[in-house]
Chains A and B, each alone.
Chain A
Amino acid sequence: MDNVKNTPNTAPKITKETKNKIRVEFERTSAWTRFKIKYLQSGFFVSALFKIARFLLLIGIAYVILMPFFTKISSSFMSGEDFVDVTVKLIPKYPTLDTYKAIIKDNAYFQALFNTVLLSLMCAIIQTFICALIAYGFAKFKFKGNSLLFGIIILTMVVPHQTLQFSLFMRFRYFDFLGSLNIFNLIPMPTANMTNTFWPLALMSFTGLGFKNGLYVFMLRQYFKGVPDELEESAYLDGYGPFETFIKIILPLSIPMLITVFLFSFSWQWTDNFYTTLFFPTVTTKLMPNIVVLPKSLDTTIAPSMYASAVNNACAMLIIAPLIVIYLFCQRYMVQGIERSGITG
């Protein structure tokens, strides 16, 4: 009993007690002291300053990245009068849709859009699948020549395509199946002209030689290396073959990574102007690079070079508009996919 009587000196006094709540009385540190300890010390100031500086820096760089897009958008809505008016800076005084209308009508934008969607979708789907296949072969199967072939894949990434542009063009202009391997022309082969068709890019995608495919194989290989072997072993025990395992177990597992690769290959194929201008030398098949010309119906005499620039900007906006939509939905996957791939060497 004595102990119980002594305790109130140290233990808090209970003022109110209900079934769920309990209120006790204790001496609280004053608000000013708490404030002083928490905020009025050098550590807080330093970290706050650092946070503000970091935020300002990020805002500044974000501004540098985004500003060109804003100016592109605004100048694409400008009319001829705005280019002459010195007071017009960013927001056009006489906004007009003429530039867009002229490009869409004269340069056959929708035709180019349709063709580019077809081409990019085809390339992206084939490349994602083929690169996953090749990368899986590199990541999970040990055989002689594995590392040599991987070196060759990296080499295909290193050799600039400008180096090969002439021979690539000649290869698909006069396409036969043996080509240079048919050294002494022992078997005369008929040649096929594949330019101005989707065949060159389709064939290159099917063989993992498309635009930046070495990078995709590298990324996917690193990712597949992280997939535990036990998964496949149990699939083999259940009677799956390697190919079945790949299709039914590995691919569904790696959908975020595949979306990343798909996003890269789709958008890089979309904005690619090297292969499209190389393999489509005449403008019979309209593609995105073909719409970047001055529309005939637009009267640009009022400020020729500025107007041309505005038209270019409008073209750029029209070209990337579908990509922006895709990016808004997929950018989350891009960062996550790269993070999960663990390109950690």
Chain B
Amino acid sequence: MNKAAKTKANSMLSLPAGNVPAPGMPKKHRVGGASLDAKKARSGWLFLAPFIIGLFFIYAPVIVDSIKFSFAQVKPLRGGGFRLIPVGWENYNEALFVNPDFTRELVTGIKDLLFDVPAIVIFSLFMAVLLNQKMLGRAVFRAIFFIPVILCTGLIDKIDADNPLSNYMQNTTSSIDTGSGTDTVNAIVNATDIQWMFSSMKVGTELVTYVVNIMNNIYDIINRSGVQMLIFLAGLQSISPAIYESCDIDGASAWETFWKVTIPMVSPMILVNAIYTVIDALTSADNSVMSFITDVYNGAGGQELSSAMSWMYFLIVLGLIGIVAAVLSAFIFYQRRD
């Protein structure tokens, strides 16, 4: 073993001073190399080596480049390589104050995100509770409900979104379904007349419009809540049945058990899912702000501008994640585990 590795390992030691050889002492007595803790720490670094290499040689440079690009203009050189001309805040300035659409897209995008997150989290919790119950054909329902996780992603999402029929269909009397899922749902929603159902309850009109919007986008919401359902299902499975048994013996109704046992026990998952939903919406292909940014990217000379725009969007959403995490973590119940 070379000396450098040994000193590195020693420096990582967090053992009492007695175990570390004093500088003057001969190091001969440590025949087996470093102590167990140091060995474990070293193999920990070895296991992480691929990621650390990637971090230093790909990810960190990419992040740094992206920030640099957002403050510069890129000129490709003839012999390969490229040159950066720093332009200061010009890209940001252009995105915010010159580009006519960016601010509008940003505001609507963030508003949609804020409205979608509770809908998706509540829906996926509801579905996970249903799919966790014992019933006829549970395996089949589970198999069907997780289809969107695998099949309705990326390219397929894009094909659905680009479907030239989906706009056209709404204005015609032709009866062929576009296959984008919205038509089916619209038919159901029209048949049930939710607006009428809700207007008879004494709730504000904002809530009514919100719920009606959710119902209109239920296909979208189902598609986007697959992983969240899986996470909630895992959380529900990890609740000990003994708790439910004792509730049953004490005479608690199913409704009470849900609010007093299930909700607190899955509350860490609610936080995880809220954050996952925000991230997923942020990185998904059908995100309106992101597709706007992609359009800018594909436009002439818009690469640097798109970097600036997406950094701004990302920082805003990161701030939102922070707020959501701070608010939700006040309500989280952590089961003590020893």
Contact = CB atoms under 8 A, between A and B. Distances in A.
Given A158-B282, A313-B159, 10 more contacts: A63-B184, A64-B181, A133-B50, A138-B48, A171-B62, A180-B61, A242-B47, A271-B154, A271-B155, A338-B231
Contacts of A51: 135
B40 A141 contact: yes
Interface in A59-111: 60-69, 71-72, 75, 78, 82-83, 86, 88-90
A58 B47 contact: no
B238 to A, nearest CB: 5
A323 B48 contact: no
A288 to B, nearest CB: 6
B234 A64 contact: no
Interface in A141-174: 141-144, 146, 149, 152-153, 156-168, 170-171, 174
B141 A68 contact: no
Contacts of A130: 50-51
Given A180-B65, A335-B142, A65 B231 contact: no
Contacts of A193: 80
Task: Return the 9 tightest CB-CB contacts between A and B, nearest first.
Answer: A207-B54, A141-B44, A137-B47, A345-B268, A167-B65, A143-B41, A309-B165, A180-B61, A71-B177
A295 interface: no
Given A57-B130, A149-B48, A327 B65 contact: no
B314 A160 contact: yes
B50 A271 contact: no
B66 interface: yes
Interface string A304-329: 01101100110110011001100100
A243 B43 contact: yes
B307 interface: yes
Contact of A55 (B53, B74, B135, B146): B135
Given A88-B176, A273-B155, A207 B51 contact: yes
B43 to A, nearest CB: 4
Contacts of B218: 64
Given A308-B164, A309-B164, A312-B163, A58 B130 contact: yes
Interface residues of B, number: 108
A2 to B, nearest CB: 44
Given A68-B179, A146-B44, A160-B314, A343 B234 contact: yes
A39 interface: no
Contacts of A149: 48, 51-52
A134 B48 contact: yes
Contacts of B164: 305, 308-309, 312
Contact of B279 (A157, A292, A323): A157
Contacts of B61: 167, 171, 179-181
Scoring B50, B65, B168 by chain A CB atoms within 10 A of each residue's CB, the highest score goes to B50
A2 B81 CA distance: 112
A164 B143 CA distance: 35
A160 B181 contact: no
A159 B130 contact: no
A268 B151 CA distance: 8
Nearest to B39: A242
Contact of A71 (B41, B173, B178, B238): B178
B146 to A, nearest CB: 6
B178 A166 contact: no
B148 A65 contact: yes
Interface of B: 12, 14, 40-41, 43-48, 50-66, 68-69, 74, 80-82, 127, 130, 133, 135-136, 139, 141-151, 153-156, 158-160, 162-166, 168, 173-181, 184-185, 188, 218-219, 222, 230-231, 233-235, 237-238, 268-269, 271-272, 279, 282-283, 285, 290, 293-294, 297, 303-304, 306-307, 310-311, 313-314, 318, 321, 334
Contacts of A181: 56-57, 60-61
B238 A342 contact: yes
Nearest to B284: A160
B12 A144 contact: yes
B283 A170 contact: no
A288 B158 CA distance: 13
Interface centre among A62, A133, A166 (most CB of B within 10 A): A166
B154 A343 contact: no
A78 B179 CA distance: 13
A298 interface: no
Given A66-B144, A342-B234, A268 B154 contact: yes
Interface string A253-280: 0000000000110011001111000000
Contact of A312 (B12, B162, B177, B304): B162
Contact of B143 (A67, A159, A163, A331): A331
A75 B230 contact: no
A341 B233 CA distance: 11
B43 A160 contact: no
B47 A133 contact: yes
Contacts of B158: 273
Given A64-B184, A339-B233, A306 B62 contact: no
A138 B43 CA distance: 11
Given A51-B135, A141-B43, A142-B41, A327 B50 contact: no
B166 to A, nearest CB: 8
Contact of A309 (B62, B139, B179, B272): B179
